[in-house]
DNA sequence: TGGGTCTTATTTGTATTATTAATACTATTG
DNA sequence: CAATAGTATTAATAATACAAATAAGACCCA
């Protein structure tokens, strides 16, 4: 196999990352460095650097004489956006989507609550801007969903907590990948828009509990929808 | 400077990680690969591999002719336990502690709630075991706190959500580092123990809302303590 | 003078080769 | 049979050379 030009190491990281997450390597054992280098027709140096990057992300480990092994999932840095993308691309299933939604349910109400307490005027304006883009009728599907993503990101940013801020890319990556598979024809509905407005109003008013509750309500609704789909799927599998 | 033998790359990753987080590199600019290699008396190959690992963790970026630069904090993988350790060791301040507690407040009640729904019998037993070690009077300070950490970890594990499970090392690292700075003479108090018991009982009974609330209550108490200390600190700084 | 283009120097990126270190496996020997 | 020494495999490190990218300045021309 060959990979395109420009940053061979980065390319290989991506190729191997995807391959690992697709379960391409049986028994969690990768080929030796030399074999990988040969397979992708690049030097062992570049190969080793790619291996090191994947090691840093917790995906693999390598020891002399033992070779390169895939680590247990509990070591994977799932909050690394690369890893997350590979996971979601590798197994785009409803269960993983629910797991992810459960994290959002933990994160986003908390972030909204913190935003209600700490957001600066600029940060409030940022949230409001993406909210207005969400409403704008003439915009296309992609723009609307980018505005949706920006809305969530700006709330995380406004939390003024570096951990939540770091989760911006986490949420963005997951939302984008999920759109691949749950793409709906309609744009954001009026009801959804109203919920976003409610969240914003609570944040602007400094109502921490209200921001928490309204944000939780929105996410919970999505979760119940996914749970229904999972339940339906399981009924089909049983028969 | 020199670094000890055995896994030079790993050692260098750690040295550079700590140095970066201590703000050792002014203007966010690191020396060139060649200079770093010279400084630590290792080859450029090993240096590059260390650089790649730090790049994978989002700490730095490197481009030809431009050199190696420290990335903006929003790119750091704060949920990587290495990065987290460097952050906490680099700036052991109360503000970062509060930020971390705010994340715990988001994570742990949610995990407890999921555990109440999904925990298997084995996972329940695991939680109970660490709880019993927490109570055992004869155990020393370190053992008690390890049991405390294990209690929180076993709840995360019992959530059966890979994202929360991944946060086990996150919580463990942060709790251990924080103990360095907030070390109290007393062990876990009777009241704290009782709160842990309450959380466990809710999980065992499958009471999702109860597990959420009791877990949140415990963390909120700690947060208010830290907030008081911060407020006191700010009063001192003003005068 | 202003602005675009070319050259050059610097730094990372990649390749190649060799040597060392760690370790699983094997054979030897008491 | 068991402890030990040997052997083979693979990653770890090193040294070196060259390629590619690019920032900065030189240069040219309208």
Å between A86 CA and C19 C1'?
Answer: 37
For residue B49, say whether its CB is under 7 Å from any atom of strand C: no
* Residue of B188, B223, B216 whose CA lies nearest to B94: B223
pLDDT interval class at A140 (50, 70, 90): low
Torsion of the alpha carbons at A142, A87, A12 and A70, rounded to the nearest 10 = 170
Å between A125 CA and C3 C1'?
Answer: 39
- Tell which CATH architecture fits domain B8-75: Orthogonal Bundle (1.10)
Out of B48, B73, B164, the one facing A49 most closely (by C-beta) is B48
Closest alpha carbon within chain B to A52: B53
For residue A224, say whether its CB is under 7 Å from any atom of strand C: no
Query: Residue B105, CB half-sphere, CA atoms under 13 Å: how many?
Result: 24
* CA distance linking residue A169 with residue A146, whole number of Å: 13
* Residue of B37, B62, B40 whose CA lies nearest to B52: B62
Å between A34 CA and C16 C1'?
Answer: 13
- Which residues does chain B have with pLDDT short of 70? 1-6, 92, 136-141, 180-188
Note the strand D nucleotides within 7 A of protein beta carbons: 8-16, 19-23
B92-238, CATH topology level: 1.20.120
The residues, any chain, with a CB within 8 Å of residue A200's CB and separated by 6 or more, are A127, A128, A131
A208: chain B residues, CB-CB within 8 Å? none
Q: What is the pLDDT of residues B205-218, one digit of tens each?
A: 999 999 999 999 99
User: Which pLDDT score, from 0 to 100, does residue A180 have?
Assistant: 65
* CA distance linking residue B130 with residue B135, whole number of Å: 9
* CA distance linking residue A161 with residue B179, whole number of Å: 21
Q: What is the pLDDT of residues A94-127, one digit of tens each?
A: 888 889 999 999 999 999 999 999 999 999 999 9
User: Which pLDDT score, from 0 to 100, does residue B191 have?
Assistant: 83
Task: Note whether B8-75 and B92-238 share their fold.
Answer: no
What's chain B's Rg over C-alpha atoms?
A: 21
CB A114 within 8 A of CB A44: no
- Bridge-based pairing of strands A29-30 and A67-70 is antiparallel
Buried b (16+ CB within 10 A) or exposed e, B42-56: beeebbbbbbbbbbb
Q: What is the pLDDT of residues A174-202, one digit of tens each?
A: 888 777 666 554 555 788 889 999 999 99
* CA distance linking residue A112 with residue A195, whole number of Å: 13
CB B167 within 8 A of CB B107: yes
CA distances from A206 to A110, A150, A236, B170 (A): 14, 20, 47, 30
Does pLDDT of A136 surpass 70?
A: no
- Helical ranges in chain B per DSSP H: 8-21, 33-40, 44-56, 81-90, 94-118, 121-135, 141-158, 162-181, 190-205, 208-238
Tokens standing for residue A90: 């590798």
Q: What is the mean pLDDT of chain A?
A: 88
- Long-range CB contacts (within 8 A, 24+) of A64-69: A67/A29, A67/A30, A67/A31, A67/A32, A68/A29, A68/A30, A68/A31, A68/A32, A68/A33, A69/A28, A69/A29, A69/A30
Q: What angle do CA A26, A28, A33 make, to 5 degrees?
A: 100
- In chain A, the largest separation of any two C-alpha atoms, in whole Å, equals 62
- In chain B, the largest separation of any two C-alpha atoms, in whole Å, equals 62
Backbone φ and ψ for A41, nearest 5 degrees, come out as: 60, 50
ipTM, two decimals: 0.89
Tokens standing for residue A10: 């980065």
CB A134 within 8 A of CB A181: no
The residues, any chain, with a CB within 8 Å of residue B201's CB and separated by 6 or more, are none
A80: chain B residues, CB-CB within 8 Å? 56, 58, 77, 79-80
Out of A13, A54, A163, the one facing B103 most closely (by C-beta) is A163
- Helical ranges in chain A per DSSP H: 8-21, 33-40, 44-56, 81-90, 94-118, 121-135, 141-158, 162-181, 190-205, 208-238
The residues, any chain, with a CB within 8 Å of residue B142's CB and separated by 6 or more, are none
CB A57 within 8 A of CB A82: yes
pLDDT interval class at A6 (50, 70, 90): low
CA distances from B133 to A106, B159, B179 (A): 29, 21, 19
CB B214 within 8 A of CB B195: yes
CB A55 within 8 A of CB A63: no
* CA distance linking residue B106 with residue A92, whole number of Å: 26
Domains of chain B, residue spans: 8-75, 92-238
Quick one: average pLDDT of A201-227? 93
* CA distance linking residue B157 with residue B168, whole number of Å: 7
């Amino acid at each position: 196999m060959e990979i395109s030009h420009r940053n061979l190491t980065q390319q290989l990281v991506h190729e191997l990352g995807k391959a690992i997450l697709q379960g391409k390597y049986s028994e969690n054992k990768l080929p030796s460095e030399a074999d990988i280098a040969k397979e992708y027709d690049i030097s062992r140096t570049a190969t080793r650097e790619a291996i090191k990057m994947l090691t840093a992300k917790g995906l693999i480990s390598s020891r002399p004489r033992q070779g390169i092994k895939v680590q247990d999932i509990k070591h994977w840095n799932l909050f690394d956006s690369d890893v997350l993308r590979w996971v979601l691309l590798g197994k785009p299933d409803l269960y993983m989507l629910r797991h992810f939604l459960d994290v959002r349910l933990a994160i986003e109400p908390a972030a909204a609550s913190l935003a209600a307490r700490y957001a600066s005027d600029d940060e409030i304006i940022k949230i409001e801007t993406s909210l207005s883009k969400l409403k704008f009728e003439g915009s296309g599907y992609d723009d609307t969903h980018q505005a949706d993503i920006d809305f969530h990101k700006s709330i995380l940013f406004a939390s003024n907590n570096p951990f939540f801020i770091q989760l911006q890319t986490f949420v963005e990556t997951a939302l984008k990948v999920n759109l691949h598979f749950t793409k709906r024809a309609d744009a954001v509905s009026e009801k959804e828009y109203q919920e976003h407005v409610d969240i914003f109003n609570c944040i602007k008013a400094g109502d921490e509990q209200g921001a928490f509750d309204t944000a939780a309500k929105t996410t919970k609704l999505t979760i119940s929808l996914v749970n229904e789909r999972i339940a339906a799927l399981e009924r089909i599998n049983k028969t």
